[in-house]
Amino acid sequence: MNRDARFLAYVQMLDSALPIGGFSHSFGLETYVQKGAIGSLAELEQYMNSQIHCSLVRLEGLAIKGMYAAIEEADMRRFCRLDSILHVQRPASESREGQHKMGRRLLTLARKLYPWMALDELEQALSDYQAYGTLPAVHAWIACRLGIPMDDAVRGFLYTAVSAIAGSALRLMSVGQTECQLLISRGTEHIAEEWSKVRELPPDLLHSFSPLQDICAMQHEGLYSRLFMS
């Protein structure tokens, strides 16, 4: 597979229609909407930006950076340690399970899309070190094997998170598709800005601080009616 084909293969992985279960998860957004905390496009954008700033860039972004270094150094122990940290950093069980299941489904899909890729090595390491195979970890592995630069892999993953927020909002709120596309566009600008602030930090400083989001994600399973699994 040449460089152009690998790039397009990565673009395919960023598609919101990728059959890995993302359509079924709101990761707490449904709770915000049902409780009336988010009801307008402005409030939705504020929520999205807070997730980018407080969680996504500083947790998943730095983790992917560390995983890239681990892959390049053939240090699977470190790779799996970062994967396990990502798993336990999500207090809500639905969110943990959602990231785990989506990662496993992406791994299964990757076997069909990229039969030449060394996916057995990843699965063996996850088994040996009792790691989970979270979505960011599998994303990082595939992107690295496709030859995607680390910064692009981080921004690509964060783009999928922003796109997922907009997709969930389409079904939960009275917002249109054009409004959501504009939201995604502004979100990508925010991603680039926030990542530029932290990209030089060591991966060991990865963290997330979004207590209200964590509480809403934990409360989701107790909602009277639910459209999403998380």
Domain boundaries, the chain: 3-11+24-220
**Residue where the block lists tokens 């407080």:** 54
- Tens digit of pLDDT for each residue in 61-105? 999 999 999 999 999 999 999 999 999 998 889 899 999 999 999
User: What value does the mean pLDDT of the chain take?
Assistant: 94
Q: Is the pTM of this model over 0.85?
A: yes
The conformation of residue 13, written as its DSSP 8-state character, comes to H
48 CA to centre of own chain:
13
Across residues 162-167, what is the average pLDDT?
A: 94
The conformation of residue 223, written as its DSSP 8-state character, comes to -
Counting beta carbons within 10 angstroms of the beta carbon of residue 50, is it exposed (0 to 12), middle (13 to 18) or buried (19 or more)?
middle
Residue 178 neighbours by CB distance under 10 Å: 8
Which is it for the CA torsion 226, 185, 161, 20, positive or negative? positive
218 CA to centre of own chain:
18
Across residues 185-198, what is the average pLDDT?
A: 97
CATH classification code of 3-11+24-220 = 1.10.4190.10
